[in-house]
């Protein structure tokens, strides 16, 4: 019995259950912790897909840094029981309707072979032995994708400055 389908089913079901919890749980702190569950399940799926470095980044950057920021703001704002969690009447109805439409469209696209043009996917080519390793990712990140990588540093710098300015300023 192959191990991969069992692991895939486990991680996929955990991810979907935690994602539903994120959207429908009342307590925001529980929502944040369930989102960590989604992120960790996806990290497991990344390992199944031979993306070890991305899986490590997922745990360190997403589940570590970004979720700590979320929980910090959650504690800072101290949001407490203000009755309804979901939007009122019509907004909620349209939300669910639109969600069903998006799901149907995405599944239609995902399941039609080769984007609806027929022929199916080509066979998977052979994986290079260092597929997904930090060395291999670093090699293409610093050659082919060097300029986007440098621009990312500017983006993060702007984000840091913007966050400090926004959080410090007293608005009238």
Applying the rule CB under 8 A, the residues between 135 and 154 that interact with other proteins are: 136-137, 140-141, 144-145, 148, 152
Dig out the tokens for 5 from the structure: 């389908």
* Nearest by Cα to 34 from 47, 45, 23: 23
* Residue from 12, 14, 37, 59 binding other proteins (CB under 8 A): 12
- Which one of residues 81, 117, 125, 150 is an interface residue with other proteins (CB under 8 A)? 125
* x/- map, 43-82, other proteins, by CB under 8 A: --xx-xxxx-xx--xx--xx--xx--xx--xx-xx-x--x
- Contact flag: residue 30 with other proteins (CB under 8 A): no
Structure tokens at 21: 């919890």
Degrees to nearest 5, angle at CA 165 with 164 and 166: 95
For residue 11 the two structure tokens come to 């991680």
Integer Cα distance of 39 and 15 in angstroms: 8
Q: How far is the CB of 94 from other proteins (least distance, A)?
A: 7
Closest CA to 26 of 91, 67, 84, 69: 84
Q: Which of residues 79-118 bind other proteins (CB under 8 A)?
A: 79, 82, 84-88, 91-92, 94-96, 98-99, 102-103, 106-107, 110-111
Taking the complex as a whole, the smallest distance from the CB of residue 110 to other proteins amounts, in Å, to 4
131 binds other proteins (CB under 8 A): yes
* DSSP labels, 33-64: HHHHHHHHHHHHHHHHTT-HHHHHHIIIIIII
Binder of other proteins out of 1, 90, 127, 135 (CB under 8 A) = 127
**Least Å from the CB of residue 117 to other proteins:** 16
First to last CA, the chain: 65
CB of 76 to other proteins, least distance (A): 7
Shortest spacing between CB 131 and other proteins, in angstroms: 7
| Three-class SS state of 81 | coil
Nearer to other proteins (CB atom), residue 76 or residue 118: 76
């Amino acid at each position: 019995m192959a191990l991969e389908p069992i692991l895939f089913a486990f991680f996929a079901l955990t991810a979907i259950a935690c994602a539903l919890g994120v959207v429908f749980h009342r307590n925001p702190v529980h929502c944040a912790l369930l989102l960590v569950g989604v992120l960790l399940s996806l990290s497991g799926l990344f390992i199944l897909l031979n993306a070890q470095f991305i899986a490590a980044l997922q745990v360190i950057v997403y589940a570590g840094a970004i979720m700590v920021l979320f929980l910090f703001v959650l504690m800072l704002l101290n949001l407490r029981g203000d009755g309804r969690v979901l939007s009122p009447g019509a907004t909620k109805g349209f939300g669910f309707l639109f969600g069903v439409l998006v799901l149907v469209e995405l599944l239609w696209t995902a399941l039609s072979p080769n984007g609806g043009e027929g022929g199916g996917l080509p066979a998977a080519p052979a994986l290079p032995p260092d597929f997904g390793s930090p060395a291999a990712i670093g090699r293409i990140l610093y050659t082919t994708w060097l300029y986007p990588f440098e621009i990312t540093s500017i983006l993060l710098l702007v984000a840091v400055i913007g966050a400090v300015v926004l959080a410090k300023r007293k608005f009238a």
